[in-house]
């Protein structure tokens, strides 16, 4: 396992901690945005030179932050452990397969394609589109809890593959992936998603680390910042979850849309390089 030695200035180290705060806050508030925020922050704000090392490093940082931020959500009763565990275990196997494939593809293309997917998810998660959202999953002709379990398993496998392939924690996909087959409230999906985000991120990070694509010191700075940001985000998420119905859905969709548009803009400028 190769150890990365990239020397960061004091300013870059401080920016890494501040970026970690933003990542932790996003994870706890909406259950997603971890890697999708962490990757562009480390690339464009901190100025880290290697995109693939950025993906591996942020996967580890997001994993650690997700596991830490799971604790306040669990304490607040926002975690449905049975569904969360099933989703995390099945998705982890799929994430390993996806991350193995993702290392073979240029990171710019991965981010561009995922930004398109983010925009679709953002629209479908708005309250007015929720009635037709369940049609995104294959129809399972099985009654009661058995049918829900099969749908949950299918969603976990699909999300795990995408999470590993794109090198992300996958919260933006895990939250709707939990809601669709179970009908759980979004605050429960956000809290439950953190177990999967942490598991998927850890699997992806270890797979990248095997190829020497992980900077352990930068990951530590991100984790340090994420602890503070996560505590603040979880408290706000619990408060909003008890407020007017649909508030968290709108926040979720707005953040996804803004980040997706930014990623599209950054990668469109480099589109000619891909061809």
Which tens digit of pLDDT belongs to each residue from 30-89? 766 666 678 888 988 998 888 788 888 988 988 888 898 888 889 889 999 999 999 999
Residue 252 covered by a domain = yes
Place of tokens 């706000």: 236
Residue 3 covered by a domain = no
Q: Are 194 and 27 in contact (CB under 8 A)?
A: yes
Structurally, how many domains does the chain consist of? 1
Q: Is the four-CA dihedral 116, 73, 134, 152 of positive or negative sign?
A: positive
Whether the full predicted model's pTM is greater than 0.85, yes or no, is: no
Residue 4 covered by a domain = no
- The total of other beta-carbon atoms located within 10 Å of residue 9's CB is 10
Q: What band does 249 get if pLDDT is binned at 50, 70 and 90?
A: low
pLDDT of 156 > 90? The answer is yes
Q: Indicate the Cα dihedral angle 200, 203, 204, 207, nearest 10°.
A: -170
Q: Are 182 and 148 in contact (CB under 8 A)?
A: yes
Residue 2 covered by a domain = no
Range(s) of the domain holding residue 147: 10-274
The 10s digit of each residue's pLDDT in 199-219 is 988 988 898 898 888 999 999
pLDDT winner (highest mean) among 95-109, 150-164, 244-258: 150-164
Residue 1 covered by a domain = no
């Amino acid at each position: 396992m190769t150890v990365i030695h990239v020397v960061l200035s004091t300013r870059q180290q401080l920016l890494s901690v501040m970026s970690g705060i933003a990542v932790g806050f996003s994870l706890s508030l909406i259950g997603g945005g971890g890697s999708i925020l962490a990757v562009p922050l480390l690339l464009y704000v901190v100025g880290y030179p290697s995109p693939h090392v950025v993906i591996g490093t942020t996967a580890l940082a997001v994993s650690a932050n997700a596991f830490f931020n799971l604790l306040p959500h669990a304490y607040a009763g926002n975690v449905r452990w049975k569904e969360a565990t099933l989703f995390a275990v099945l998705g982890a196997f799929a994430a390993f397969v996806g991350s193995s494939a993702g290392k073979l593809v240029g990171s710019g293309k991965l981010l561009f394609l995922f930004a398109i997917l983010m925009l679709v998810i953002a629209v479908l998660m708005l309250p007015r589109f929720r009635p037709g959202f369940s049609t995104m999953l294959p129809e399972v002709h099985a009654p009661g809890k058995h049918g829900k379990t099969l749908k949950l398993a299918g969603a976990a496998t699909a999300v795990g593959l995408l999470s590993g392939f794109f090198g992300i924690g996958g919260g933006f996909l895990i939250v709707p992936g939990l809601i669709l087959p179970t009908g759980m409230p979004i605050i429960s999906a956000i809290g439950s998603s953190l177990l999967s985000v942490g598991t998927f991120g850890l699997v992806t990070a270890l797979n990248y680390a095997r190829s020497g694509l992980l900077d352990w010191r930068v990951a530590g700075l991100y984790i340090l910042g994420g602890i503070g940001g996560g505590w603040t985000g979880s408290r706000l998420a619990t408060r909003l979850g008890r407020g007017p119905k649909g508030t968290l859905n709108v926040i979720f969709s707005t953040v996804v849309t803004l980040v997706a548009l930014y990623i599209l803009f950054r990668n469109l400028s480099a589109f000619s390089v891909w061809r």
